[in-house]
Structure 1
Amino acid sequence: MKYKITLIVVLVGLFGLLFAYKKGAFEIQKDEYTVLKLPETVDYNFHIKPILSDNCYTCHGPDANKRKAGLRLDLEKTALSELSESPGHFAIVPKNLRESKAYQSIISDDPNQLMPPPDSKLALNSYEKKLVKKWIQQGAKFEKHWAYLTPEKAYLPETELSNWGNNEIDDFILRKLEENKLRPSKKASDETLIRRISLDLIGLPPDPETVQKLLANRSKDNIERIIDAFLASPAYGERMTQSWLDVARYADSHGYQDDSYRTMWPWRDWVIHAFNNNLPYDTFLTWQLAGDLLPNATKEQILATGFNRNHPITQEGGVIQEEYRTNYVLDRTNTLGKGILGLTLECARCHDHKYDAISQENYFEMFAFFNQVDEKGLQMDAVQAKNQKFFADPPYIEISANETKDVLSFINMKKTPKINVMVMNDSAPKTTFVLNRGEYDQPTDSVQPNTPETIYRFSDDLPKNRLGLARWLTDKKNPLTARVYVNRIWGMLFGKGLVETSEDFGVQGSLPSHPKLLDWLAVDFMEHDWDIKYLLKKIMLSATYQQKSELRPDLKNKDPENKLLARAPRFRMSGEMIRDYILTTSGLLNREIGGPSVKPYQPAGLWEETNAGGDRGVLTKYIPDEGDDLYRRSLYTFWKRTLPPPNMTIFDAPTRDFSEVRRQKTNTPLQALVLQNDVQILEAARVMAQRIIRDTPGNPDYVTDVFRRILVRSPKKEELLALNTYYYNALEVYRNAIEDAKKLVIVGNYKQLDVDPAETAALMLTAQVIYNLDETITKE
């Protein structure tokens, strides 16, 4: 009997273990790569090229100077050719593993034969070796890099779930979800969607009154009406411009050691105007790259070329002019690569690109388009810089107040009746040389303006100048321009692009999570005349965009990074958006559009610490503005290159020394300290508290009012209970310490309202608590 009981216990235990295994309660530890299923057809671009790029291209890639054994694996012709150092042998022989020396090397047990060599610290895992094996067995078919293929509109995929989806985007997303045995999330609440749409399109939260008005309309096309309303807002242009300033490396100072004033804000105002008027993206690019070369160019078109004058410029005496002139041209070339083409062109400045098929000669052929600009006279005298006058005679456009009404009405002249703005202007043709190691004083062979044929051939019909370059970029057969911009818009809305490395569509960049969707959107964008508002609306009307953002248990394991988009994303807003959000909800935001940049609050002494120009520098001391200028949108905050606005830098804003497409995302204690201690945030909480107390004296729902203003929704019972407890505890404390309350509420320059200081202090701190909530600074 004893043994029978023991046997029963053992059997029950075994059944329990089997049940747990079936349910996935534990996993057997083994090589993770052995359980991955090989694709039915191995794709060169999506399966093989990443393996070769990561492990082989350093020695066997595009860079001829670093190539070993005469073997180049990134091109079909060379990869399948006879090995120059081993006649009669081949690296890859389609359908023949035994004769494929490259394959035999990667599976070798001999450290002298193994590739990559052990000292490289690189190695293929078992799954990658199997992929290469199957690829060779299937014929070792090579393809042009996916991003260099002209995008095509694929047929919409078939899906099983017929009752989900609003447009074509959803077909592609749903197909991928079904392939991974996942389902989409439910639609987000109307309150959530209104806030999401508002943040995405105008960069500001909607006010509670607007939300209630929109919620009252329950028509089928209500979401579309909401999107249209925000697209029509003047704040839309400001929102879109904020992102473009990173690409354009816009700043209000020159950079380098002296880092003195520059006047480029009229160009920034033009960008706002262009977005608000929905200038087609191809035209938007053309004017910025070559507006001065258009027939009968207008002042607006010429002003747009300030895009290529936004780079840092030295004002130091004794510099070698040609060295810095070369640096400026290099900057424009690199900005074209990263900001518009999504390529790391700069890697080919000193040598052939190690991963992408872009030679050093290709790089300087691109460089030649920008090498015709007369850079003389770009130095500025410190005293004259204060008056915004240039020391010599560079290419610039003069704008005066009496012209703005008819010619440039979108520019807010404000305090400055007459200004000079740097623009582009080609001089006599210059001969461009390939520079050895990229050094300005080591010219070698001469080159003509041209573009890499690996991307798209430069037509003989195009002029070999910046206008021709713009036409090449915006040709509908160019494989990169539309793809890159569509991907950037997707990244703006979803936190990351379909290609996560939005700055790099090259071999080392991320592969698209939904390649057919990316191509479909790129073609659709061009078919609709590069209409940016159309593109935004298309994406935002999709069921994919309108999902809830809650992380479901099944997604936590299968798709923790949300690449498949079975839910809407949640991500922290930028530093600029957080500041604007707080100013808006407090009622402090000055909504004036355009004009010279302003100086809001900033910790004292920072500019003095970073100034290296001594008495020559004109930005040696930071003097905050007064009145309404303290509360303008962050877009208009003065941007000094050697010390960008610190409260935005802490939230990952770049320095703007060079073009930046994708901001890094960090999470540090300093960010929490800004939200808790920044004068602007404390003042916003104080002003909101005082206004609510003044406008609704004796209101028992102060906390509810503050919550709704900030989070654009009503608080849940448990939230309200916790916040009310905090408020009434603080109120009791400050009623017994009225002097402490008075000291707390004097923060900020905005006028004090005549209300009870204890109530103000308690409600102010409650508002600050809500401002510090994760939900407040997160778009979900």
Structure 2
Amino acid sequence: MSFRLLPTTSSLCMVILLPILWIGQKGLAQPPLEDEFFEKRIRPILVERCYECHSGDARRLEGSLRLDHGSFYPSGGDSGAAVDGENPSESLFLQAIRYEGYEMPPSGKLPAAEIDDLTKWVLAGAPWPEEPIPQSKKEIATFDLASRKDSHWAWSPIVSRPLPEMVKAWGPQSPIDVWIHEGLRSKDLAPVGPASREILIRRLHWDLLGIPPTDQELARWGEEPSEDWYEQMLDALLANPQFGVRFARHWMDLVRYAQSRGHEFDEDIPGAEHYRDYLVRAWNADLPYSDLVREHVAGDLQEHPRRHPTKRWNESILATGFWFLGEWVHSPVDTRKDETDRFDNMVDVFSKSFLGMTVACARCHDHKFDAISNEDYYAMYGYLRSSHYRLVRFETDEAEKKIQKELEHTRNQYRGRIESILNQWIPTLDESKRGELVQSMVSSKQGPSPLPSHDPRVRFDAATLPPESFRTNGPAFGLHVQPAGWYSLRLHPQTPNRVRASSFPSIAFDPFWLRQKLVLDRMNTQNRYAQVDQAGGTFLTPSFLLESDRLAFWVRGSFRVFTAVDSHRLIAGPLHGETVFESKAEKESGWRWVLGPNLSRYRNKRVHLEFSAIGSDGFELAQVVSGPVPEGARPAWDADRIEESFVRLQKGSDASIGNQSEDERKLDAWVIAELLDRWSETQSDSTAAAFREEWQRAVESWSEAEDALAKKAPWESRVAMAMQDGSGQNDFLLIRGNPDKPAEEVPRRFLEALGGKETVRNDIHGSGRLELAEQMLAPENPLVARVIANRLWHHLIGRGIVATTDDFGVQGKAPTHPELLDELAISLRERDWSLKSLIRSICLSNTYRQRTASGDDSPVDPSNEYLAFAHVKKLQGEAVRDGLFLVSGQLDNQLEGGTVRVHLNDFLTGRGRPNQSGPMDGRGRRSLYLEVRRNFLNPMLTAFDMPTPFSSMGRRNVSNVPAQALTMLNDPMIHALAERWADRMLKKDLSDRQRVVEMLRDARGREPSDGEVTRSLAFIEDAGGRSDQASAEIAPSASQRREAWKDFAHVLLNSKELLFCF
């Protein structure tokens, strides 16, 4: 279509067009369009295709974007300007209608002719006739963070309030009871009174241990004459090791604990069980919650990590494994999209678990309801981009550091002895011999050399690496980089009486640590990254921008390098295999350039490299540059300079480096290293004959000293997932959550509503997670203490003061007793964050010890939110299973001891199905120790509402579905337990009545009534199981009797007392 220009002069055109052009619009390449074209060709498309979602008449305004007036296009909506006045061709509006990233309208792409008309219109500046802005049915809500914070209770400071007047008729009251009774009084309700001793014994065992009391425990506490019997029982249960098992499982719901990755092949998560065992120990040790938070957020950064009390391994670092328990995807096409999905899950789990806030809801825009901005969300990304996954040798890290320090001290001592021998030898060199050595050194420098550190192609240079950027996983690369002007000496790993010298500033793998072994049951067998010997022997470079298709490495020895791109590590499919690269050197080869793999797929992404050694010949890394390999010979020093170094060394009192210039120190270190290499390799030289014997004694003594250290070193260690600090990096705000649409960089910081913007620091070299943990625990933050106090209340009482335990936001439930919630939070802080102390306080309250209600629910409080009586709690799946095993006498209460593989029945099929099945009964272990595989979850536990491990689940679903009853009736494991219980009871020298009484007492936790015993005996008799009253002629067979008692045991295993806590 051709457009007719207005028949006026150019000045008149500008006067006419001013009302319909945007103020400040730049000159446009396209001619202005007439109103007629807009009204006939543009407005109809907008009205028909866009206004339903993007106008003042829209029932719900999508993306905060209106398109029904020209003034809205420059400002746009959540994703930014709809039309770019500077570059109209790059406008989001055009990208959306072309389906280039955004896809609008979502119902289907516009016809080509309509796209052409809209494109012409936008390229002309999107002119709009002068007209009033249409009134909107609904104003666009503005995000006012301060107003949202001030108007919602959760952000308010924790306040200690005076207790209201007590009601004497309700007896002695703790502060907990006072606030509960105040709520009851406001509703004209009264508490129902205490539960019986039998009920309290059973309730406390279920709540604190996750198993019912044994017959012996029932007798002990049921007959205890002391007035403080309850307090004694409570303290005994808090000290019971099974307490940690119970509360570790509660916490594992929050961190989506699993031992496989899910997705298609359900890859193993190596060492996940060590995080589980860490939790059990932490809860049993009553680790202060403040320390639990610090360890989860930054346990790897603790200056003095918490150690196991007897085995001395690093406990603190194990907590950081929770970040990596999520689902991982193998071979994603878009690694950045995959990373943002993983980060989203990590932010979601972190914020719900510790803050009770749905921060992940701000991924695409400011939170719709809470005082959480889009920037808050992406500020968290920076902490995650600055931290890396690793497998850590947690059992031996402290001992390894000690050995490494002793090793360096030993080497420095023998370095002095070797220098002394060299010092005596150098003056004996005649001019001819010295000339030969000089020429051979010059020749050795004729090959390729590293680039100058200032060369723009250099991405990593050991010579300029700041000390705070030296990051290793384990001791194998030493404690620091070898500085310029220094040379190192090490025993040759394979040849006796030889040393290896190096003067390059380098990161060097120490062959001393080749003896290290990992203790790991299973690994990601299909994951190529698992080939990398990470634990104990990895060096990490700082992050850098990949600006070339390839990298080149200045190295000595054989190595493997992993290019960490977008933190993707599950390399088990057709993509991204090039990120794992290895190069094997010929034996005794020197320094060389190695060209890495083709990384063009990842160009312009930030990456870091993880190096590990291959073989036993040692490995050194000096430089990484953007490819290709640097060409040409660059001799660092000529013969004259080397000769000058000899003169200096001959004149010196010893062979050590003196106070020369930096360049002279580098040269002298290199000359000494070259001499030592030649000395070690040519000991038959006649010039050195006089010193050969002393050299051999020194080297032999040195070797013996290292052998003695090797006998002290701990070579075997289990490994666990953990975080490792990397280069401090901020991330970008992603428009509408789209990783292809980065906007401005967002500094790493805490939530703005909790003072995050005031605490931004730019002087932190690493992630800043340690500072984040302290900000979370600051007295000004009301969320951390409130959230955990509410969680404990929820687990013990059956309903949180805030019922939505993971959401304290506007969409969550308001607290039923806000004063009590603050009372609990203050109590927790004042008791040094002791979780057991707070649990004890709750359990000692009259509120906890009430009986459950009988009769109709109160019309005033039908859901019992105000706690006039105790809630009947449906037992969690793990408690149901463990209770069945305990009652039937099959429970193994062992702590730790590994994981029992999942039992694979005929219905658990699909990709990634394990090759081996675990035993049906899980070896009698507690449910905590059964393997949790995302794609092959335990059917019984799933039927009883164990959450699928994909995000935080602080409050489990509570269902009563046919699958549960059918499981209890038909599951082969339940039948096996009934059979074993019956067999065990039949072996006892008891009458049938005694046997029935004992079984009823075991199952129901109380003395049975006469009626229950009579009915039970009748049931067994009808089933053909009675023998004590039968005549010889009609006595049942052994098989009949066994089957009858098995049926009776099966009935008891279906008792309500084994499914509910009363």
Query: Which TM-score band applies after superposition, normalised by the shorter structure?
Result: 0.7 to 0.9
Task: Specify whether residues 600 and 685 from structure 1 end up closer, same or farther in structure 2 by C-alpha distance, changes over 3 A only.
Answer: farther
Inter-partner Cα distance in structure 1 for 2:818 and 2:138: 30
Counterpart AA for 2:899: S
2:328 to 313, 317, 322: 313
**1:444 and 2:743 aligned:** yes
The 1:451/1:605 distance shift into structure 2, 3 A limit, reads: same
Match in the other structure for 1:274: 282
Change (3 A) 1:141 1:234: closer
Residue of structure 2 equivalent to 1:467: 770
Aligned position for 2:724 = 425
Distance 1:60-1:148 versus aligned 2 partners, 3 A rule? farther
> Which residue in 2 is equivalent to 1:693?
986
Contact kept? 1:289, 1:305, Cα under 8 Å? yes
Task: Quote how far apart the aligned CAs of 1:633 are.
Answer: 0.5
Aligned residue identity for 2:816: S
CA, structure 1 residues 550+446, in 2 after alignment: closer, same or farther (shift >3 Å)? same
2:187 aligned residue: 180
Q: Contact between 2:1025 and 2:1042, CA under 8 Å: does it hold in 1?
A: no
Cα deviation for residue 605 of structure 1 reads 4.2
Following TM superposition, by how much is the alpha carbon of 1:508 offset from its aligned partner in structure 2, in angstroms? Answer: 0.8
Match of 2:801 in 1: 498
Q: Report the equivalent of 1:30.
A: none
Distance 2:277 2:1025 in 1: 49
The answer to whether structure 1 residue 762 and structure 2 residue 1061 are counterparts is: no
Aligned to 1:776: 1058
Residue of structure 1 equivalent to 2:227: 220
**In structure 2, which of residues 833, 840, 858 is the aligned counterpart of residue 537 of structure 1?**
840
How far apart are the structure 1 equivalents of 2:1008 and 2:319?
46
The question of whether the paired residues in 2 share the 8 Å contact of 1:203 and 1:239 is answered with yes
Matches within 5 A, 1:449-528: 449-457=748-756, 460=759, 465-528=768-831
RMSD between superposed Cα atoms in Å: 3.6
CA drift at 1:162: 4.0
Q: How far off is 1:601 after superposition?
A: 4.3
- Cα distance change of structure 1 residues 636 and 181 upon mapping to structure 2, 3 Å threshold: same
Partner of 1:50: none
Tell me the distance in 1 between the aligned counterparts of 2:201 and 2:163: 29
Contact (CA 8 Å) 2:993, 2:1013: kept in 1 or not?
Answer: no
Task: Name which of 380, 384, 391 aligns with 2:530.
Answer: 391
Query: Residue by residue, what CA displacement relative to the aligned partner does 1:479-504 show, whole Å, maximum 9, x if unpaired?
Result: 11110111111110122201011111
Contact 1:734 1:761 in 2 (8 A): no
Deviation for aligned residue 1:376: 9.3
Q: Choose from 552, 573, 583 the match for 2:875.
A: 573
User: Paired residue for 1:194?
Assistant: 201
Per the alignment, residue 952 of structure 2 pairs with 659
* Equivalent residues in 2 for 1:276-291, closer than 5 Å: 276-291=284-299
Give me the whole-angstrom Cα distance separating, in 2, the residues matched to 1:224 and 1:288: 32
The one of 301, 318, 321 aligned to 1:303: 318
Secondary structure at the aligned position of 2:992 is classed as: coil
Q: Compute the displacement of 1:385 (Å).
A: 2.7
Equivalent residue number for residue 331 of structure 1: 345
SS in 2 for 1:684: helix
1:139-158 equivalences under 5 Å are 143-158=150-165
Could you tell me whether the CA contact under 8 Å between 2:902 and 2:938 is conserved in 1? no
Q: Which whole-Å CA distance do the structure 2 matches of 1:465 and 1:513 have between them?
A: 37
CA contact (8 A) 2:202 2:212 kept: yes
Choose from 325, 331, 356 the match for 2:370.
356
Cα pair 1:375 1:394 within 8 Å, conserved: no
Paired letter, 1:694: K
What is the CA-CA distance between 1:220 and the residue it aligns to?
A: 2.1
Q: Per the alignment, do residues 343 and 396 of structure 1 end up closer, same or farther by CA in structure 2, a change over 3 Å counting? A: farther
Deviation at 1:672, TM superposition (A): 0.3
* Aligned with 1:624 (options 905, 918, 937): 918
Query: What is the deviation of 1:159?
Result: 3.3
Note if 1:683 corresponds to 2:976.
yes
The C-alpha deviation readout for 1:649-707, integer Å capped at 9, x for no partner, is 11111110222221111111000011111222222211111111111243323222111
Q: Give distance in 2, aligned partners of 1:708 and 1:154.
A: 46
Equivalents in 1 of 2:891, 2:211: separation in Å? 10
TM-score scaled to structure 2, two decimals?
Answer: 0.54
The answer to which structure has the higher strand fraction is 2
**Residues 114 and 59 (structure 1 numbering): CA distance in 2 closer, same or farther, change over 3 Å?**
closer
Kindly report which structure 2 residues correspond to 1:623-642, keeping only aligned pairs within 5 A, or say none.
623-625=917-919, 629-642=922-935
Change over 3 Å in CA distance of 1:300–1:390 after alignment to 2:
farther
Q: CA deviation at 1:304?
A: 1.8
CA distance in 2, matches of 1:532, 1:258: 39
CA contact (8 A) 2:260 2:269 kept: yes
Contact residue 585 and residue 710 of structure 1 kept, 8 A:
yes
After alignment, is 322-331 or 526-535 more displaced? 322-331
Query: Structure 2 CA distance, aligned partners of 1:68 and 1:159?
Result: 63
Query: What are the within-5 Å matches in structure 2 for residues 690-729 of structure 1?
Result: 690-729=983-1022
For 2:30, the equivalent position in structure 1 comes to none
Kindly state the Cα deviation for residue 509 of structure 1 after the two structures are TM-superposed: 0.6
- The aligned amino acid for 2:797 is F
Query: What is the deviation of 1:593?
Result: 0.8
Q: Is residue 148–residue 371 contact of structure 2 (8 Å, CA) maintained in 1?
A: no
Say if 1:63 and 1:515 are closer, same or farther in 2 by CA, change over 3 A: farther
What CA distance in whole angstroms lies between the structure 1 residues aligned with 2:802 and 2:867?
13
| 1:129-166: CA deviation from partner (whole Å, max 9, x where unpaired) | xxxxxxxxxxx999431000111111111133444244
Contact 2:389 2:722 in 1 (8 A): no
Distance 1:419 1:319, change over 3 A: farther
> SS in structure 1 opposite 2:744?
strand
Q: Report the number of matched residues.
A: 615
State the 1:418 CA deviation. Answer: 4.7
| Distance in 1 separating the partners of 2:754 and 2:66 | 23
- Counterpart position of 1:233: 240
Name the stretch that deviates more: 486-495 or 328-337: 328-337
Q: How far apart are residue 295 of structure 1 and its match?
A: 1.4
Distance 1:357 1:142, change over 3 A: closer
Letter in 2 for 1:581: G
Q: Distance in 2 between matches of 1:116 and 1:775?
A: 55
Deviation at 1:437, TM superposition (A): 1.9
Q: Please list the CA deviations of residues 328-366 of structure 1 after superposition, one character each: whole Å capped at 9, or x if unmatched.
A: 222221111111111111111011111112111111112
How far did residue 643 of structure 1 move? Answer: 2.4
Give the match for residue 34 of structure 2: none
Unaligned runs of 5+ in 2: 1-57, 70-133, 140-146, 307-313, 393-520, 538-711
Q: Report the Cα distance in structure 1 between the residues aligned to 2:252 and 2:528, rounded to whole angstroms.
A: 24
How many Å separate the matches in 2 of 1:636 and 1:533? Answer: 23
- Point out the structure with max Rg over C-alpha: 2
- The 3 A distance-change label for structure 1 pair 620 and 61 is same
Contact 1:61 1:67 in 2 (8 A): no
